Amino acid sequence: VAIMSVIAGLILLLQLPGVQTFVSSQILKSLQENIDAEITVEKIHLKPFNTLVIKNILLKDKNAPHDSLSGKHIDTLFHAEYVIAGFSFEGLFKSESIHLKNVYVENGTMNLVTESHTNEYGTNLNRMFNMPKNPNKKKEKKTADSSAVFWGLHNFIQIRK
C-alpha cells in the first residue's frame, strides 16, 4: 500500500506544470549534451499514462551543412508547431522500452541532408544523433513492429537534399 501511495503521489506531482517544466528542461539538457543539435521547446505537457504534447519544437544542427545551390546553411533538422505522441508503458514490464502507439505532427518541416561524401554518417540526422552508417554490418532481425505506430502529419513539409 505504501509503495502504491508513493507511485500515485509521483504521478500526481508530474501533472503540475512547474514540475513538468523542470523535468523536461533537465531531460532536454541531458539530451543536448549527447547530440550535435540544439533543441528548443516552448512547452511540454505529459498527460497521465499515455500522451506527450510538445509545442513549438525546433532541432537545429550545430554544424549545419551548406546547400550547394543557395550557399545557405541548412541548420533546421526538424521544426513543428505541435508533436503529439501516444505511448504505453507495457514494454517496461517486459524489460523493453516505452512503446509508441501514434505520433501526430502539425505544421512541421524536416530537412534531411545527404552527407555521405563528407563523413561516415551519411545524413545530417545520423550525424547529429551519432548513428554512423555501416554497410558491412549484417542486418539483424527486427523485434519491434513499426506497423503498430500511426503517424499523422498535418501541413508537414519534408525536404531531402
Question: Which of 3, 4, 85 is CA-nearest to residue 49?
Answer: 85
pLDDT at 146 over 50: no
Spell out the long-range contacts of 133-138 with Cβ–Cβ below 8 A and sequence spacing 24 or more.
Answer: none
Beta strands in 5-137 (DSSP E): 37-47, 51-61, 76-88, 99-112
pLDDT at 81 over 90: yes
Residue 117 pLDDT level (bands cut at 50, 70, 90)? low
Tell me the average pLDDT of the chain: 75
pLDDT of 137 = 55
22, three cell numbers: 523542470
> Between these two residues, 45 and 158, which has the higher pLDDT value?
45
Burial of 128 (0-12, 13-18, 19+ CB in 10 A): buried
Answer yes or no: are the C-beta atoms of 12 and 25 closer than 8 Å. no
The predicted model gives 117-141 an average pLDDT of 67
Give the tens place of pLDDT for each residue, 23-72. 888 888 888 888 888 899 998 888 877 888 999 999 888 877 666 677 77
Q: How far apart are CA 156 and CA 161, in angstroms?
A: 16
Highest mean pLDDT among 2-6, 82-86, 87-91, 94-98: 82-86
Distant-in-sequence, close-in-space partners of 13: CB < 8 Å, separation ≥ 6: 19
Q: How far apart are CA 120 and CA 10, in angstroms?
A: 43
